[in-house]
Amino acid sequence: MKTKFEMTEKDYRYLFENASDAMWVQDMEGNFLDGNRALEKLSGYTLEELAGKNITQFLSDEFLALAKEVQRRLLTGEDIDQPYEQRFLVKGGRTRIVKMATNPIIINGEVKGFQHVARDVTEEKQLQENMRFYIHQVTRVQEDERKRIARELHDDLAQTLLLLAQGLDMLSSTKRPKLSNSALKQALEELRRQAVEALEGLRRCAQDLRPRILDDLGLVAALEWMTEDMVKSQEIDAHAEVMGVEQTLPVETQLLLFRIAQEALNNIRTHAEASRAVVKLEFGDNSIKMTVSDNGKGFELPERMGDLASIGKLGLAGMQERARLLGGTIEVQSTPGKGTTLILEVPS
């Protein structure tokens, strides 16, 4: 018959071995004594390989000093904030960031070693860093765009309106020289041309900010308009395809899909060196999938999608964040020389 202690020890061992966080025990010299499966995953080494290693092999000088300071405080009873952040050098030379808690192992009143629990937060920290970089870069891009619009309004629209006003002043002045009918007609025609030019400039600015076709005719028409405009202005064979039964979507979802398609097509226009682009919209029962693909030069994808901003792919990083806010996902497929495909899926 098993004792209560034996059952407790067995249960503890089960929890130790199957915990999602890495756990290990070291002696006072830093030698690994025991660990769990999550430690194997974190370090890249098997427990058999770790048995012959020392903690100093996994820490740089800076973080080895941190580990020693934590242990010193635990031994002297000083306050220490836990969990604390630590960095490990794992198999292959990579660095993993962990949130870690350390406790002394006391047997018969004497400290024999330390037990550690560590949670891998590398991806989370990288995402935070990338988002900070992305927000900084987007702020700069937004400011550049504001300057561009202001310059367009001032240099083009304002100048055109000024010429128009001066022309009207001249025609309405009692001191103007007498004009023949043909000269008057020519002057009025020039003023009309300037008015049309000003109106077109204003429409361009408004279209850049928010195209009316999206509000008036909906997402499908807006996507078709964008691809047709691309054909006219860029000599790229672009078209939109629709699959499934078109649905009435929430305004936020329509705007998300439109803006991501707009950004993707702009990337194709300015960077891809492509001759063909396709926007495919698929209406499903519970979700909407949009695929934007091109036959351009492609690029080397980072190891993690979260690294897109840090390698300068701000447009893609922005799309990823927009999709996340509406519970959607984005997948990017690209190979140098073989084009790029962007797949967005959001709940309908």
Amino acid at 68: K
What does the alpha-carbon distance between residue 255 and residue 260 come to, in Å, rounded to a whole number? 8
CATH fold label, 4-120: Beta-Lactamase (3.30.450)
Confidence of residue 7 (pLDDT cuts 50, 70, 90): low
**Torsion of Cα atoms, 318 then 324 then 329 then 330, to 10°:** 0
Q: What value does the mean pLDDT take over residues 139-166?
A: 73
Of the candidates 219, 221, 345, the residue with the CA atom closest to the CA atom of residue 286: 345
pLDDT per residue as tens digits for the range 47-95? 988 888 898 888 888 888 998 999 999 989 888 888 999 998 888 888 8
Of the candidates 137, 60, 133, 124, the residue with the CA atom closest to the CA atom of residue 98: 124
Share above pLDDT 90 across residues of the chain, in percent, rounded to a whole number:
24
Confidence of residue 138 (pLDDT cuts 50, 70, 90): low
pTM of the model: 0.50
Alpha helices in 77-218 (DSSP H): 122-151, 159-172, 181-209, 212-217
Confidence of residue 299 (pLDDT cuts 50, 70, 90): confident
What are the tokens at 113?
A: 């070693």
From start to end of the chain, where are the E strands?
22-27, 32-35, 84-89, 95-107, 110-120, 237-243, 276-283, 287-294, 329-334, 340-347
Q: What value does the mean pLDDT take over residues 139-152?
A: 71
What does the alpha-carbon distance between residue 322 and residue 259 come to, in Å, rounded to a whole number? 9
Q: What value does the mean pLDDT take over residues 213-223?
A: 85
DSSP structural state of residue 184: H
CATH class of 213-348: alpha beta
Q: What value does the mean pLDDT take over residues 22-27?
A: 91
Confidence of residue 1 (pLDDT cuts 50, 70, 90): very low
> Strand, coil or helix: what is 332?
strand
Q: Per-residue pLDDT for 146 more than 60?
A: yes
Predicted local confidence at residue 116, as pLDDT = 92
